[in-house]
């Protein structure tokens, strides 16, 4: 099956022609990307127009043609800068596949992704600039990569590192575009491919073994863009900012949200945790701001965004973690109580499976609908689906057909990972996603955690997230909590253990918190639930995508309790 008329990247570059708002006459002034570098907070916001973006993407695509072959996998391990976006689009335009690697990865993780994807080259920076400091990146990449590395300077035009013989500077790479058949022509003819050809290789978090290599086809960008239009109401003229990285699913998703819906992409080249980022949001006139709950919690805790004008924001988005209602209320208040659209999905889905909607009343920390082309049921522990109109809690099972969802993995058995052992519904095997979700009496959906983050307390099945919601508000000293159920050595009932990270400058004892947690849980959840142990820690173990590794904490407590029982 051939792609419909033109490949996805061709459609992005033709937006200036096809979109009635972006005519050929005004494409010189319509902004495609706005950005600011960290430490330049009093400077004007930088910008690139659609015409300039089109020219630069085609120039880089010509250089990709001169350096690599059609179909090659080419990695990007960079901060999400304007240049990183141009490189991403150019790789796809040239008929190659982007390999997404987060800039936070250690050499071993980089090497694994390069090996699994069979990448022929990688784009990176000499350093990462963040918080006024420079952190080595090229040195990490060459420790992992034997393939060709193209290196961009983090500041200015000159590299701050000595390159290996086989590697290229950014300027040296661009000069290779002059060796193509039409070096003086700005035009680049897009590479026509079938609809199931791979445009991007992304990875799961990889908490055990190799991370799953998930290929995105030509359908994935279309699905991502449709989600942005339907759930977030992205329109031409919007300025859309979501601090992320091309190594995570939200990075490529944001690109397609913007460029296939005609919005302007806003990028901050630095850390989003401080006031500098908030000032950029203000100065860039951001109308849609994407976040993750832990980031919002940090903003609220440090009060770093006080006094800034975010009133141009019409919509907030949130994904990646379970939202806190109080934090959401605080965030919404920064822009005349604008709505917060929740999105929950996965890399393998190229989108969300549940979302908020501007056409429905929204509730903080909740989802109001299934995403477009997605269907699901909630089933009990025996695999029996609950009726669609019944309030319930259970594991979600996705309908097997969903636009843009994966149909293969590069290094694992797709059927085994997503379908083996799943219930059958109306004659079709449901697709595994692994979330435990709750449907309320009002029809809202609340994510309770992962299927492996549930516990059995006194014969009652509950989720870590449900307990954490209650414990987070038990005392003002608490930054965040993580609840795990630990089975004792004699296979008795699971014991409830609460891990706690305290806010900076606050102190408390484990015994004091244990009493407060017990009271809060028994008052708000179940009087039979008992907190066995509280452990105060400086931070939680997390995956590279910032998800809490409750499994690691559970295993740690099992070992500690086992030692105590032997003593």
Which pLDDT value is given to residue 461? 67
Under CATH, to which class is 356-449 assigned? mainly beta
Structure tokens at 271: 């850390």
Report the alpha-carbon distance of residue 230 to residue 345 in Å, rounded: 15
Which pLDDT value is given to residue 9? 59
Structure tokens at 145: 């990569």
Which pLDDT value is given to residue 489? 57
Which pLDDT value is given to residue 13? 55
Strands 424-425 and 428-429: antiparallel
Domain ranges for the chain: 23-344, 356-449, 458-565
Full pLDDT tens readout for the chain, 567 residues: 333 334 555 555 554 334 434 444 455 678 999 999 998 999 999 999 999 999 999 999 999 999 999 999 999 999 999 999 999 999 999 999 999 999 988 898 899 999 999 999 999 999 998 877 889 999 999 999 999 999 999 988 899 999 999 999 999 999 988 766 565 567 888 878 899 999 999 998 644 457 899 999 999 999 999 999 999 999 999 999 999 999 999 999 999 999 999 999 999 999 999 999 999 999 999 999 999 988 998 899 999 999 999 999 999 999 987 788 899 999 999 999 999 999 999 999 999 999 999 999 999 999 999 999 999 999 998 899 999 999 999 999 999 999 999 999 999 999 999 999 999 999 999 999 988 899 999 999 998 877 777 777 766 667 788 799 889 999 999 999 999 988 765 545 678 999 999 998 999 999 999 999 999 998 887 777 889 999 999 999 987 667 788 888 988 888 887 776 665
Instruction: Please spell the DSSP secondary structure of 461-491, one letter per residue.
Output: EEEHHHHHHHHHTS-TTEEEEEEEEE--TT-
Report the alpha-carbon distance of residue 322 to residue 547 in Å, rounded: 10
Which pLDDT value is given to residue 217? 96
Supply the CATH classification number for the domain 458-565: 3.30.300.30
Which pLDDT value is given to residue 191? 76
DSSP symbol at 339:
-
Q: Among 207, 153, 195, 48, which Cα is nearest to 549's?
A: 207
Which pLDDT value is given to residue 11? 55
> Which residue(s) pair with 288 in the sheet?
240, 315
Homologous superfamily (CATH) for 23-344: ANL, N-terminal domain (3.40.50.12780)
Counting beta carbons within 10 angstroms of the beta carbon of residue 410, is it exposed (0 to 12), middle (13 to 18) or buried (19 or more)?
A: middle
Which pLDDT value is given to residue 492? 54
How would you label 415-441 residue by residue, b for 16+ Cβ within 10 Å and e otherwise? eeebeeebbebeeebbbbbebbbbbee
Which pLDDT value is given to residue 566? 61
Structure tokens at 515: 């009493």
Which whole-number Å values give the CA distances from 491 to 31, 484, 528, in the listed order? 62, 16, 19
Same fold, 356-449 and 458-565: no
Report the alpha-carbon distance of residue 97 to residue 556 in Å, rounded: 40
**Left (φ > 0), alpha (ψ -120 to 50) or beta: where does 262 sit?**
left
Which pLDDT value is given to residue 455? 79
């Amino acid at each position: 099956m051939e792609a419909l008329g033109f490949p996805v990247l061709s459609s992005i570059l033709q937006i200036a022609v096809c979109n009635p708002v972006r005519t050929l006459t005004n494409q010189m002034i319509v902004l495609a990307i706005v950005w600011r570098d960290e430490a330049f907070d009093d400077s004007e916001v930088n910008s690139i127009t659609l015409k300039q973006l089109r020219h630069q993407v085609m120039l880089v695509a010509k250089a990709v043609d001169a350096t690599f072959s059609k179909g090659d996998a080419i990695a990007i391990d960079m901060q999400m800068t304007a240049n990183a976006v141009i490189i991403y689009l150019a790789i796809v335009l040239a008929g190659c596949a982007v390999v997404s690697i987060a800039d936070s990865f250690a050499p071993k993780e980089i090497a694994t992704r390069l090996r699994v994807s069979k990448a022929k080259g990688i784009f990176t920076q000499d350093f990462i600039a963040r918080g006024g400091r420079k952190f080595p990146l090229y040195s990490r990449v060459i420790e992992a990569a034997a393939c060709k590395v193209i290196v961009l300077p983090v500041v200015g035009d000159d590299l701050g590192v000595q390159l290996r013989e086989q590697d290229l500077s950014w300027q040296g790479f661009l000069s290779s575009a002059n060796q193509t058949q039409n070096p003086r022509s700005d035009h680049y003819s897009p590479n026509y491919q079938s609809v199931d050809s791979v445009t991007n290789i992304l990875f799961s978090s990889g908490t055990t073994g190799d991370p799953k290599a998930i290929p995105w086809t030509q359908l994935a960008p279309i699905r991502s863009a449709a989600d942005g239009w339907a759930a977030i109401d992205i329109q031409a003229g919007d300025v859309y900012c979501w601090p992320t990285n091309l190594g995570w699913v939200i990075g490529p998703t944001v690109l397609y949200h913007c460029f296939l819906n005609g919005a302007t992409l806003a990028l901050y080249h630095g850390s989003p945790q401080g006031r500098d980022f908030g000032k950029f949001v203000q100065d860039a006139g951001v109308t849609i701001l994407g976040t993750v709950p832990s980031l919002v919690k940090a903003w609220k805790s440090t009060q770093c965004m006080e006094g800034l004008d975010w009133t141009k924001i019409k919509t907030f988005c949130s994904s990646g973690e379970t939202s806190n209602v109080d934090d959401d209320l605080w965030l919404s208040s920064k822009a005349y109580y604008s709505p917060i659209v929740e999105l929950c999905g996965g890399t393998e889905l190229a989108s969300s499976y549940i979302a908020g909607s501007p056409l429905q009343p929204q509730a903080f920390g909740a989802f109001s609908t299934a995403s477009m082309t997605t269907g699901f049921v909630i089933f009990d522990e025996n695999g029996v689906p609950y009726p669609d109109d019944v309030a319930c809690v259970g594991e979600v099972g996705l309908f097997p057909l969903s636009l843009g969802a994966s149909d293969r993995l590069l290094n694992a058995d797709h059927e085994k990972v997503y379908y083996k052992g799943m219930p059958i519904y109306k004659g079709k095997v449901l697709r595994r996603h692994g979330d435990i979700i709750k449907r309320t009496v009002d029809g809202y959906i609340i994510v309770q955690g992962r299927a492996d983050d549930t516990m059995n307390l006194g014969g009652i099945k509950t989720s870590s997230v449900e307990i954490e919601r209650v414990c987070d508000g038990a005392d003002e000293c608490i930054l965040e909590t993580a609840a795990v159920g630990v089975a004792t050595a004699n296979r008795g009932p699971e014991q409830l253990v609460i891990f706690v990270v305290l806010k900076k400058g606050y102190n408390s004892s484990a015994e004091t918190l244990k009493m407060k947690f017990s009271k809060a849980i028994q008052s708000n959840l179940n009087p039979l639930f008992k907190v066995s142990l509280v452990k105060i820690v400086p931070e939680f173990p997390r995956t590279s995508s910032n998800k809490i590794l409750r499994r690691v904490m559970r295993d740690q407590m099992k070992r500690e309790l086992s030692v105590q029982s032997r003593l």
